[in-house]
Amino acid sequence: METVLTVAGSDSGAGAGIQADLKAITANGAYALTILTSVTAQNTREVRAAYPLSPDLIEAQFDTIFDDFAPAAAKTGMLADEVRVEAVVRCLEKHRPPNLVVDPVMMSKSGYPLLEPAAVEAVRKRLLPLATVVTPNVHEAAHLAGMEIRSLEDARESGKRILDMGPKAVLVKGGHLEERPATDTLVVEDGEVEFPGEYIQTRNTHGTGCTYSAAIATFLALGRELPQAVAEAKTYVTEAIRHGLPLGSGAGPTDHFYFLRGDAR
């Protein structure tokens, strides 16, 4: 079985972060390895606290995992601040997983900062050049590219600007766009590909970004080319959202194992 490494924060409500990644990787047929960067106290409504882990402990997790496993892909999620970004970059440079999905997580759905603003420059300069693909939503893409995004045309332009920062590809997710929401734009050196999607009206979307990027990493680990990995991951996250779970009184989690319910069981 292929292994996929996620480097991310813990969500105690288990809809996003490392818990979403663990479920998405498992559901799509790989074995998940998990490196924690920060522990959050969180439910479906709010993030109440976050406690970042020491860079030494992050490095020890990397060294211990890579002494015994050879992950076919890795992804990064919540990195908290510049100290953690630098630590993760050093570890990725040392261990060089063959595919790297960078989800440039900046803010929780409820508005809690998951990356200090001062760390954005380290993400741009140090982390993005290591990425096989970066998966910003429109807010993150606007911030990274330094422009407003109102249309698919803007999304494409922001993807080109982020591509100039060194990743091999940029997937600008359209979930927050008014123009054809859920149309994602993949920008690579040779041009752009649009992935039209179905926009599902639901409250239960907690952890969709984490789930999507973890599924992309999984399909890369399973040997798909990038556009195919994105297409299959998009189908998966769309179904997980369609079957979202009305748990808690805020944004409920997606159902990572929707295919085990009902008649199938």
**The binder of ligand PXL chosen from 35, 58, 73, 78 (CB under 6 A):** 78
91 is catalytic: no
Q: Does 209 bind ligand PXL (CB under 6 A)?
A: yes
Q: Does 210 bind ligand PXL (CB under 6 A)?
A: yes
SS3 102: strand
Give every strand in the sheet of 133-134, ordered side by side. 47-52, 31-42, 3-11, 73-76, 100-102, 133-134, 169-172, 184-188, 191-195
Tell me which of 208, 218, 238, 254 is the catalytic residue.
208
Tell me which of 13, 17, 209, 244 is the catalytic residue.
209
223 is catalytic: no
Name 171's Cβ contacts closer than 8 Å, sequence gap at least 6.
133, 134, 135, 136, 159, 184, 185, 186, 187, 216, 230
CA distance linking residue 55 with residue 246, whole number of Å: 36
> Which residue of this chain has its Cβ atom nearest to ligand PXL in the complex?
17
Q: Buried b vs exposed e over 18-47: b needs ≥16 C-beta within 10 Å? A: bbbbbbbbbbbebbbbbbbbbbbebbbeeb
Angle, helix 226-242 to helix 17-27, in steps of 10 degrees: 110
Q: Does 213 bind ligand PXL (CB under 6 A)?
A: no
Tell me which of 135, 205, 218, 238 is the catalytic residue.
205
Q: Does 136 bind ligand PXL (CB under 6 A)?
A: no
9 or 97, CB closer to ligand PXL? Answer: 9
Q: Does 9 bind ligand PXL (CB under 6 A)?
A: yes
**Window contacting ligand PXL (CB under 6 A); options: 90-98, 101-109, 174-182, 253-261:** 101-109
**The binder of ligand PXL chosen from 71, 77, 167, 244 (CB under 6 A):** 77
Q: Are 212 and 173 in contact (CB under 8 A)?
A: yes
Q: Does 211 bind ligand PXL (CB under 6 A)?
A: no
Catalytic residues, by residue number, are 173, 205, 207-210
Which residues bind to ligand PXL, rule: CB under 6 A? 8-9, 11, 16-17, 40, 42, 47, 77-78, 105, 108-109, 114, 207, 209-210
